Amino acid sequence: AQSVTQPDIHITVSEGASLELRCNYSYGATPYLFWYVQSPGQGLQLLLKYFSGDTLVQGIKGFEAEFKRSQSSFNLRKPSVHWSDAAEYFCAVGGSNTGNQFYFGTGTSLTVIP
């Protein structure tokens, strides 16, 4: 069965520091992978997605993620975090190769300190 694991429940970083949020997935074939961000009281906004091709994908707000098949990972990175990046981040797997169902991880809460 498909599953997504985000091992870090909560991460705190200083503004300007680099960030990496971890995501591991379990799926038999090459999945479609996504990162969503949710600000408090808000909906889910797509940051970036991976379907195929270049394993390093660029997203909005300066985020990027790298698909590593050998590690079944799709970690999210940002070289310099801004205070406005404080939010909940969800990794997801899904799309037409999972019966059009999207599976979410439990989320990582990011706190940014001055």
Binding site for other proteins (CB under 8 A): 32, 34, 36, 41-46, 49, 51, 90, 92, 94-96, 99-107
Which residues are 100's β-sheet partners?
Answer: none
Of 46, 33, 40, nearest in space to 103 by CA:
33
Burial class (CB in 10 A: 0-12, 13-18, 19+), 10: exposed
CB 76 within 8 A of CB 20: yes
Smallest distance, Å, CB 33 to other proteins? Answer: 11
State which residue, 17 or 60, has the beta carbon closest to other proteins: 60
Smallest distance, Å, CB 43 to other proteins? Answer: 4
State which residue, 81 or 94, has the beta carbon closest to other proteins: 94
CB 13 within 8 A of CB 114: no
Smallest distance, Å, CB 81 to other proteins? Answer: 23
State which residue, 15 or 102, has the beta carbon closest to other proteins: 102
